[in-house]
Amino acid sequence: MTVLKTRAKLVDVARQLFAKKGVEDTTMNDIAQASKKGRRTLYTYFKSKEQIYMAVVESELEMLSDQLEKAAGKPVSPDKKIMELIMTHLNAIKMVVYRNGTLRADFFRDIWRVEAMRKEFDRKEVTLFRRILQEGKEQGLFDIDNVEITADILHYCIKGIEVPYIRGQIGEELDDETGWRYVSKIVFGALGCKEKEK
């Protein structure tokens, strides 16, 4: 097994154990046994449980980044693309949290630790927002003065509703289609464009 494959296997096994038992109740020994690797092998790759936890978070963020790149690369108009990016962001974050089971508690409790790891992910997402906003501005779809500032604000708005979205606290009584219609009204209003008929 190559070095990268071994590391990826250890990270995946750790993620599954963290999801099942929680980070606090999972030991390095548990990870070594479940991965069918010796403790020595595990410690060759990761010096502590903290290090492997960070690797799990990092791998999840890489998967999220890939999903956002795919959404931003779709051959659709910038107004549809910006909504696709927002929906992908919120739904992907929600899936990460649910997939990781009891990591959920850690996700909320360790928000500052996760926050430090999100810097690169956030930077990539803002770059995608800027690209799409610039495209929309050039096509006359968005009436915005400053693409950079608008992308930053949009990014922080989306990030700010992650936790209530994950917990189902936004428009609990609305069906998905109606909820997203509200989101697009706000987004398109802020970008100075009218919502197109689908």
pTM for this entry? 0.77
For residues 28 and 42, the answer to whether their CB atoms sit within 8 Å is yes
Give me the pLDDT at residue 198, please.
Answer: 41
Give me the pLDDT at residue 170, please.
Answer: 80
Q: For 141-155, what is each residue's pLDDT tens digit?
A: 999 999 999 999 999
For residues 179 and 171, the answer to whether their CB atoms sit within 8 Å is yes
Q: What are phi and psi of 197, to 5 degrees?
A: -70, 140
Q: For 26-39, what is each residue's pLDDT tens digit?
A: 899 999 999 998 88
* Cα separation, 144 vs 69, whole angstroms: 23
CA nearest to 166, candidates 117, 68, 99: 99
